Amino acid sequence: MSIPDGLRTELGRYLIGQKLRALRLRRSMGLAQLGERTSLSPALLSKIENGRLVPTLPTLLRVAMVFDVTLDHFFQNEFRQRVISITRKEDQEQSFALNPSGNDCYHLTRLDLGFGDRKFQPYLAEFFPETAANGKPHMHQGVEFIHLLQGELQMLIGSETHVLRSGDSIYFDSSLRHSYKRLGEERCMGFMVFAYPEKNVAERRMDRLEGVHGARRQVQSVPVRPEPPREAVFNGTGVTHKPKAFQQPA
């Protein structure tokens, strides 16, 4: 069965042949030896490695079992995982973002305006003097990093107080209650990064399953009628049990 050129091009992005060759050479295994272990001809394996033949799933599974890998190894699209995102200066000037604590103790400007999932979020932060209205500590999941570019910043993290000066950096667990306070009259600016905990593949799959099957979990309980008590009856061969009749209350 011939494969359309467009589909063949898309399959080529997965580099299946190159991954197969890398696995084989890592084990210092020749095509003939791999052919013996997979019951596939060396000529067929050579065509797969050189991109002249698209293997079927059973064929690929035979190879995967020899090298103790899963089929996912061959279908990880490294081409699509390369993300390049540029945010221009003129776009940053329009990217003012509110701070997560909901007060005015600091203002954030997003430095990355690209689309898609991000493992962290970078901001340019300006800190202000603390007042009764905006100095409340806050907390959120993940970790936080700050590199102070200008001014002097006082931070309360948990029960500890830290003072940062221009050029200082700090990394901390943002699930601890924390707050910021500018010291002095000089403008206080810093580079801030928020990184949030990332769920692993198993957790994401569980979330999807819970979303699909959540409604099915609402099963009404059915009352179970209690089994009547049994009384022992002795006979010549041993002990047997028979249900004991319930007595109606007088």
pLDDT in tens, 15-72: 899 999 999 998 889 999 999 999 999 999 999 999 888 899 999 999 999 998 888 8
The answer to whether residue 204 sits within a structural domain is no
Q: Which residues of the chain have pLDDT under 50?
A: 98-101, 200-224, 226, 231-234, 237-239, 246, 248-250
The answer to whether residue 236 sits within a structural domain is no
**pLDDT for res 114:** 75
Residues spanned by the domain of 50: 5-81
This prediction's pTM: 0.48
Which tokens in the block code for residue 38?
């997979």
Residue 55's alpha-carbon distances to 29, 182, 222, in angstroms, are 19, 63, 53
Q: Where does a domain end: 81, 97, 112?
A: 81
**pLDDT for res 222:** 43
Domain count along the chain: 2
Q: Alpha helix locations (H) across 107-226?
A: 201-213
**pLDDT for res 201:** 43
Q: Where does a domain end: 167, 195, 223?
A: 195
Return the bridge partners of 160, or none. Answer: 157
**pLDDT for res 94:** 55
77 and 93 assigned to the same domain? no
The residues, any chain, with a CB within 8 Å of residue 118's CB and separated by 6 or more, are: 112
**pLDDT for res 85:** 79
109 and 182 assigned to the same domain? yes
Which tokens in the block code for residue 186?
């000089």
Q: What does the pLDDT look like over 9-29, one tens digit per residue?
A: 777 778 899 999 999 998 889
Q: How many CB atoms lie within 10 A of CB 105?
A: 21
Q: What is the CATH number of the domain that holds 22?
A: 1.10.260.40
31 and 125 assigned to the same domain? no
Q: Where are the beta strands (DSSP E) in 196-248?
A: 230-234, 239-243
Name the nearest CA neighbour of 193 among 116, 113, 108: 108
105 sits in the region (left: phi over 0; alpha: psi -120 to 50; else beta) called: alpha
Distance CA 8, CA 59 (A): 17
173 and 93 assigned to the same domain? yes
